[in-house]
Chain A
């Protein structure tokens, strides 16, 4: 039994040469520098304000690292997947794959798993740096594992979306831009929609949102879900408070979804959306036609 040859080939090509080790080294160097600066700044401040090390600094360092990793996933995966299929088409290698009896779904899964594996390699390689916060307590292993699971699901979602766009558009750059636009729409657009609904509702009934309504709008929002996941972080609530005056107690009322945490709901949404994108991408490849928008926009 062979592993997916597309994944094997993609990983082989990605890891060959100096680029991959250079990327990992510079990324880890950057993260290490961030952690070092957080601790050094704490030591510097402690000379004037507090005589001992503040454990809260370790937590801040953890959160900063987690945010950086999350940004990495959101920014690095679209360019990695944007050319997955359109790149094969541009390189004139797609026909050679499609004339075999290899299933289109296997092509999509191979491309996606190679991209996710590459992104997760960067994240996994940074675990020792994230592990430095364990020296000071405040973070449990469970939190770290949960964060990793969240990263994995987010990576799957972004990668599958990128590959789907890659089957739709002729040019890789358009596919990449569409991935960024979609992520932007999910991150900012859902907030805007919620705000519009809030204004409409407030002017009619003058009541606050229920938790269920917030979830309805913000479940697909990766930034909201991530901010709600960060350990001891109230960032998600702070955002809601700033924009909508919603506090935890007000939200908890009148909702059957009160037990579903935002990050859990987002993970479920991302998993389902990834499955849909994978199937659509597989279908798009299978019909072996020119890209959907070729005639209209020359995309």
Chain B
């Protein structure tokens, strides 16, 4: 659905994008992640036809955006990170306005508006003025607006930013619904966990370059060298701690009041050998498990902890 090839965007001497390439398959939800200032919004604006790249190519559904920008725009629904609304319009009028912009007839626009407001759970706000809506409701309205012309491809720039936890959950549910409708979605965020449940694949961008891109499983595999085990023992943890520190395959062995954690090389045989050794040495192991790798840890690993400083 989307192919980005060697995208470069320069502002004077500053390179916002430096040969960025990635691909999104049809029907996939792609998490586009990176710390603030990494080039996410610049990339998204180029894909949405709002910025011209210095060089490189963007293809949406087989159409080159520089050759046929209007053709591409009809296939894209775009929700920016910051957006305004027309204060003096009611919700239904707001939707009708954008339906008109896409050339949708009034009668059809009314029907589509009803369906989309139901999708984003704003049916009861149909006659409310847009400026009376909460931030979360405005986000959902903007999402409904981006769907008014039934685009195949959705670009959502930080859709959950500034939302309270409840609104985030609601947004996530809507995105799952859109996924089931077969939409291809590009979601940007600088916080990975909020994408982990819904994305098929992710790309991590830093300083205008794609650091890593692929399905979640692929990426987990690629960086599996940094897996962690968590061990609980009964009673005194000192003998267990001493034993684990002596093992050459383990790094960063640390103890908290309840458990011990250690990094290992990702080889399952290592786990088997360590557990067997602990049992042989009469260490009373209660639990021995791998800490589940999550996208946040991948992100921190890949970007070298930049995100932590940004947040």
Binding site for B on A (CB under 8 A): 2, 5-6, 8-9, 12-13, 16-17, 91-93, 95-102, 288
Are the CB atoms of B88 and A13 closer together than 8 Å?
yes
Are the CB atoms of A5 and B84 closer together than 8 Å?
no
Q: Does B288 contact A (CB under 8 A)?
A: no
Q: Does B74 contact A (CB under 8 A)?
A: yes
Are the CB atoms of A100 and B73 closer together than 8 Å?
yes
Identify the interface centre among B52, B76, B101: most chain A CB within 10 Å of its CB. B101
Q: Tell me the bound Cα distance from A98 to B52 in angstroms.
A: 13
A-B Cβ contacts below 8 A, count: 72
From residue A18, how far is it (CB to closest CB) to chain B in Å?
13
Q: Tell me the bound Cα distance from A2 to B71 in angstroms.
A: 21
Q: Tell me the bound Cα distance from A98 to B50 in angstroms.
A: 7
- B103's partner among A2, A92, A96, A288 (CB-CB below 8 A) is A2
- Which of B92-100, B167-175, B296-304 lines the interface with chain A? B92-100
Q: Does B176 contact A (CB under 8 A)?
A: no
Are the CB atoms of A101 and B102 closer together than 8 Å?
yes
Are the CB atoms of B100 and A5 closer together than 8 Å?
yes
Q: Does B128 contact A (CB under 8 A)?
A: no
Listed A/B pairs (23) with beta-carbon separation below 8 Å: A2-B100, A2-B106, A5-B99, A5-B100, A8-B97, A12-B89, A17-B88, A91-B84, A91-B85, A92-B82, A93-B85, A95-B45, A95-B78, A95-B80, A98-B49, A99-B50, A100-B98, A100-B101, A100-B149, A101-B70, A101-B71, A101-B102, A288-B52
Q: With contacts A2-B106, A13-B89, A288-B50 known, is A99 near B78, CB below 8 A? A: yes
Chain B residues with CB under 8 A of A100: 73, 98, 101-102, 149
Identify the interface centre among B71, B98, B142, B149: most chain A CB within 10 Å of its CB. B98
Closest partner residue, chain A, to B12 (CB atom): A295
Are the CB atoms of A93 and B86 closer together than 8 Å?
yes
Chain A residues with CB under 8 A of B99: 5
Closest partner residue, chain B, to A295 (CB atom): B12
